[in-house]
Amino acid sequence: MADAVFLALSVITIGSAIAALELRSLIYGSIALMGTLGGIAGLFLLLDSPFVAMFQIAVYVGSIAVLILFTVMLVKRELIFKKIEDKRRKFAGIGLMLVLMVGLGSVILDSGIKSITTDEPAVDFRDIGADFLTYYWPALILMALILAGSVTGALVLARREDVGNEQRAN
């Protein structure tokens, strides 16, 4: 059975995921998204993987959420507080969500996952480092190149063409 910490963390995670999508203001929505990402980091800690949890907090809560907050601030004020959604699709969307949850949930509950338990010790983070540097080294290098390329691409895309360099210097 699940313990109280797990229940609290999952309620925080799922509740703030709903809040992130449903709150009227985009700023509160992005703060609620931070709650979801932090809750997932807590669940990683419960799964004995502190390295991934630290990475999650540094990358998601630390940088992605702040990036989203700044993008929201660049948008016009009335757009931040306006709810843009298809009214007709709302009930269909809720129905789709429920069908997905019930369908996938019942399939998973019927499968043999329920009986899986483990008494073995958790994976050491040294093993992750060894993985990165031995078997996965081409993927690691590719990931670094993709990160560099995408950040450069983002900067080039967001650059304003109508502002000259001399104006930028001022």
Q: Which of 14, 9, 119 is nearest to 53 (CA)?
A: 9
Nearer to another protein, 113 or 169 (CB): 113
Residue 14 interacts with another protein (CB under 8 A): yes or no: yes
Nearer to another protein, 74 or 169 (CB): 74
Q: How far apart, in whole angstroms, are the C-alpha atoms of residue 43 and residue 10?
A: 8
Angle at 72 between CA 52 and CA 64, to 5 degrees: 15
Q: How many CA atoms lie within 13 A of 57 on its CB side?
A: 12
Interface residue with another protein, options 117, 165, 167, 170 (CB under 8 A): 117
Restricted to residues 118-137, the positions that interact with another protein (CB under 8 A) are: 118, 120-124, 127-128, 131-132, 136
Restricted to residues 20-79, the positions that interact with another protein (CB under 8 A) are: 20-21, 26, 29-30, 33, 36-37, 40, 43-44, 46-49, 51-52, 55-56, 59-60, 63-64, 67-68, 71-72, 74-76, 79
Burial of 23 (0-12, 13-18, 19+ CB in 10 A): middle
